[in-house]
C-alpha cells in the first residue's frame, strides 16, 4: 500500500534486538490495550492470551518477542523505558504469574500458558503475525496484528473499524497530502527537475506538512543523538552478549586498540558516565573529546576501515543487548546508517547540523521507495530487505553530502542494493547476532563504496535503475525459500548444536 512515510516512521527510537520481532510486537501490544480502552475499559479485562505465528513463533524467543509483548501490555514506552529494568520486570511477571495491564489493572498471567509460540502455524497475510484474545466481562475479543518490518504494524478488520492493511502508527496519519509525493525514482526525479531541489529538500518540504521546521529539526537532532549515544555506549561496553551463543563484544576492544593509550586516560570517567540508562545523559564533553581523538588519528585507509566497522559493531552489539537504538530502517540493520554518517562526520568534514539532517532526509527517501516498492522485512524478503536497504539508504545520504547530484544519489542507492540481492536471513539460534552484527559492517562499507562509484560515474550511462533493482529485489524475495526468511531453519542457523536455537 503506497503511502507517505515520515522520516520519524522510517527512523524510530526503540529497543533492540529486532524491529519486526521486538519493536513491532511491543507497539502492537500497546495499541491493543488502547483499542480495549476505547471499546470498554482495561479494568474490564478478566484474562488475556497471546498467540505468536510464523517467524514470530520460530525466532521470537531469540528476538525477545515475548519480552516486548509483556512490556507493551504493561504500557511501557520503548522510547523512554529504562532498559536496565526490562529483564527484572519480565522475570517478575513469570514468577508472580500476574501482569499489570497498562500499569493499572492486574490480572493472572501464566507465561507458559498465556503466551503461546505456534511454530507450525502461520497466518496468510504476513509471516510475522500475532493474536491477542481478550476476555472482557461481557465479551471475548480477538485482535490480530502483523509486524511488517521496521517497527511498522498493521491490523485486520475488527469491531473498532480498522481494516486489513491499515498502518496504525500512533504518531501521525501517513495518508496525507504532500506537495511532492513519489512512489518511484521517476516521480522523485520529476520533482527534483521541476523544483531544482536536492532530494533532501524534497523530503523536507513533505515533512513540513506534518511538522513545523523547528519541530522537524529537533526531531532529527534527537534521532542523531540517539544514534551517537548508542555508538558511544557500545564502544565502551565489555562482556558477552545475552542469548547463549557466547558472542563477545568486539567494539570495545577495537575502539581501545584504535585510540591506543588515549582510551585508558578517560576510562574511569567514561565508565561513570555509562552507569545511566541507554547513555541519554552522557557528558557531551566526553563525546566531543572521543570524536576529536578519532579525527586526530589520520586518514590511513585501514584506520578508517576499522573505525567504520567499529561504529557498526557498537550499534548492533547494543541492539543485541536490548539497548536503545534507532530503526534504520530496522533494528537488525541499525548500525549501517550511523556508521556511514560517522564516517562522513569524522573523515569527510561533514558534521554540521545541516549535513546530518540532509543525510537522514535523503536516506529516508530511499527507504520510502523500498518500503512501498518491495519490503523492509527480513521475514518477507531475507536480509537483502534489511542490510541491503540500509546500505542503499546510507549510500544515497552520503552521496548527497559529498556533492552528488540527484541522479548520482539514486545511482548510489542502486549500486548498494544490487550487491545485496539474494542475501538471506539466517540468524543463528534465532538471535540478532550471527551473522547480523558483522553484516552491518559489510553494509556500511558497501554503502561508502557505492557512493564513491556513483560520484565517479555518469548516471545516464547506467543500465540498471534504482526502480529496476527494487523490483528485482521484490521478485527475489518472492522466489526465496521460506527457510531463508528469518526462521532460523536454514543457512548458518543450521550450523549450530542441537537445542541452542531455544536459548
Q: For 8-31, what is the mean pLDDT? A: 95
Q: What does the mean pLDDT of the chain come to? A: 91
pLDDT one-digit tens code per residue, 392-443 = 999 999 999 999 999 999 999 999 999 999 999 999 988 999 999 999 999 9
Predicted confidence (pLDDT) per residue in 463-497, tens digit: 999 999 999 999 999 999 999 998 889 999 998 76
Check residue 266 and give its pLDDT. 52
Under a CB-based contact definition with an 8 Å cutoff, are residues 329 and 369 in contact?
no
Question: What does the alpha-carbon distance between residue 190 and residue 211 come to, in Å, rounded to a whole number?
Answer: 24
Task: Give the separation between CA 63 and CA 52, rounded to whole angstroms.
Answer: 13
Q: What is the C-alpha separation between 492 and 427, in angstroms, rounded? A: 7
Q: How large is the average pLDDT for residues 358-363?
A: 98
In this prediction, residue 495 carries a pLDDT of 86
In three-state secondary structure terms, 163 is coil
Please tell me the predicted confidence (pLDDT) of residue 165: 54
For the CA atoms of 144, 148, 153, 154, the dihedral, rounded to the nearest 10 degrees, stands at -50
Q: Give pLDDT, residue 11.
A: 97
Partners of residue 105 on adjacent β-strands: 101
Q: Is 133 helix (H, G, I), strand (E, B) or coil?
A: strand
Q: What is the pTM of this model?
A: 0.90
Where helices occur in 348-405 by DSSP H, the ranges are: 353-373, 378-381, 387-401
- The position carrying cell 496484528 is 145
Residue 363: predicted pLDDT: 98
**126 with 148: CB under 8 angstroms?**
yes
> How confident is the model over 129-185, as pLDDT tens digits?
999 999 999 999 999 999 998 999 998 766 555 555 555 544 444 567 899 999 999
How many Å apart are CA 93 and CA 86, to the nearest integer? Answer: 11
Beta strand extents in 259-412 (DSSP E only)? 324-326
CB 357 within 8 A of CB 303: no
Q: Walk me through the domains of the chain, giving residue ranges and CATH numbers.
A: 19-167 (3.30.1330.90)
What average pLDDT does the segment 191-209 reach?
Answer: 97
| SS3 track for 448-465 | HHHHHHHHCCCHHHCCCC
Q: What is the pLDDT of residue 488?
A: 87
| Per-residue pLDDT tens digits for 296-319 | 999 999 999 999 999 999 999 999
Scan for cell 500475532, then name that residue: 130
Strand locations in 1-113 (E)? 13-15, 45-53, 98-101, 105-108
pLDDT at 127 over 60: yes
Amino acid at each position: 500500500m503506497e503511502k507517505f512515510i515520515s522520516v520519524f516512521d522510517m527512523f524510530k527510537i526503540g529497543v533492540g534486538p529486532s524491529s519486526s520481532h521486538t519493536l513491532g510486537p511491543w507497539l502492537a501490544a500497546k495499541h491493543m490495550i488502547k483499542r480495549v480502552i476505547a471499546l470498554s475499559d482495561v479494568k474490564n479485562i478478566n484474562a488475556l492470551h497471546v498467540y505468536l505465528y510464523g517467524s514470530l513463533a520460530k525466532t521470537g524467543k531469540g528476538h525477545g518477542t515475548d519480552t516486548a509483548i509483556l512490556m507493551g501490555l504493561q504500557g511501557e514506552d520503548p522510547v523512554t523505558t529504562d532498559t536496565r529494568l526490562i529483564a527484572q520486570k519480565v522475570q517478575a511477571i513469570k514468577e508472580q504469574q500476574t501482569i499489570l495491564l497498562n500499569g493499572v489493572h492486574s490480572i493472572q498471567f501464566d507465561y507458559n500458558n498465556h503466551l503461546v509460540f505456534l511454530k507450525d502455524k502461520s497466518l496468510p497475510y504476513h509471516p510475522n503475525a500475532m493474536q491477542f484474545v481478550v476476555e472482557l466481562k461481557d465479551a471475548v475479543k480477538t485482535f490480530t496484528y502483523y509486524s511488517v518490518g521496521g517497527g511498522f504494524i498493521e491490523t485486520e478488520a475488527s469491531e473498532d473499524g480498522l481494516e486489513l492493511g491499515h498502518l496504525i502508527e500512533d504518531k501521525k496519519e501517513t495518508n496525507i497530502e504532500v506537495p511532492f509525493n513519489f512512489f518511484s525514482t521517476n516521480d522523485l526525479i520529476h520533482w527534483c527537475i521541476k523544483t531544482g531541489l536536492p532530494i533532501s529538500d524534497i523530503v523536507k518540504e513533505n515533512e513540513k506538512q506534518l511538522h513545523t521546521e523547528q519541530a522537524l529539526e529537533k526531531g532529527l537532532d534527537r534521532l542523531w543523538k540517539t544514534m551517537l549515544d548508542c555508538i558511544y555506549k557500545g564502544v565502551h561496553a565489555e562482556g558477552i552478549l545475552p542469548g547463549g551463543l557466547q558472542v563477545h563484544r568486539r567494539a570495545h576492544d577495537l575502539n581501545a586498540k584504535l585510540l591506543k593509550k588515549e582510551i585508558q586516560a578517560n576510562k574511569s570517567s567514561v565508565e561513570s558516565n555509562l552507569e545511566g540508562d541507554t547513555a541519554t545523559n552522557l557528558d557531551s564533553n566526553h563525546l566531543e573529546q572521543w570524536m576529536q581523538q578519532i579525527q586526530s588519528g589520520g586518514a590511513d585507509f585501514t584506520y578508517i576501515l576499522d573505525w567504520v566497522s567499529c561504529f557498526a559493531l557498537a550499534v548492533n552489539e547494543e541492539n543485541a543487548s536490548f539497548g536503545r537504538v534507532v530503526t534504520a530502517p530496522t533494528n537488525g540493520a541499525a548500525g549501517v546508517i550511523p556508521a556511514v554518517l560517522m564516517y562522513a562526520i569524522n573523515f569527510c568534514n561533514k558534521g554540521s547540523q545541516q549535513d546530518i539532517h540532509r543525510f537522514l532526509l535523503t536516506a529516508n527517501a530511499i527507504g520510502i521507495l523500498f518500503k512501498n516498492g518491495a519490503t523492509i522485512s527480513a521475514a518477507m524478503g531475507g536480509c537483502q530487505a534489511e542490510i541491503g536497504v540500509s546500505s542503499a539508504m546510507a549510500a544515497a545520504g552520503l552521496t548527497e553530502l559529498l556533492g552528488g547530484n540527484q541522479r548520482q544519489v539514486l545511482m548510489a542507492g542502486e549500486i548498494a542494493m544490487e550487491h545485496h540481492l539474494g542475501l538471506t536471513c539466517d540468524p543463528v539460534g534465532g538471535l540478532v547476532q550471527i551473522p547480523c552484527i558483522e553484516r552491518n559492517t559489510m553494509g556500511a562499507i558497501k554503502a561508502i563504496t557505492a557512493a564513491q562509484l556513483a560520484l565517479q560515474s555518469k548516471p545516464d550511462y547506467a543500465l540498471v535503475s534504482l526502480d529496476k533493482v527494487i523490483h528485482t529485489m521484490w521478485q527475489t524475495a518472492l522466489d526465496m525459500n521460506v527457510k531463508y526468511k528469518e526462521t532460523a531453519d536454514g543457512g548458518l542457523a543450521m550450523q549450530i548444536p542441537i537445542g541452542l536455537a531455544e536459548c
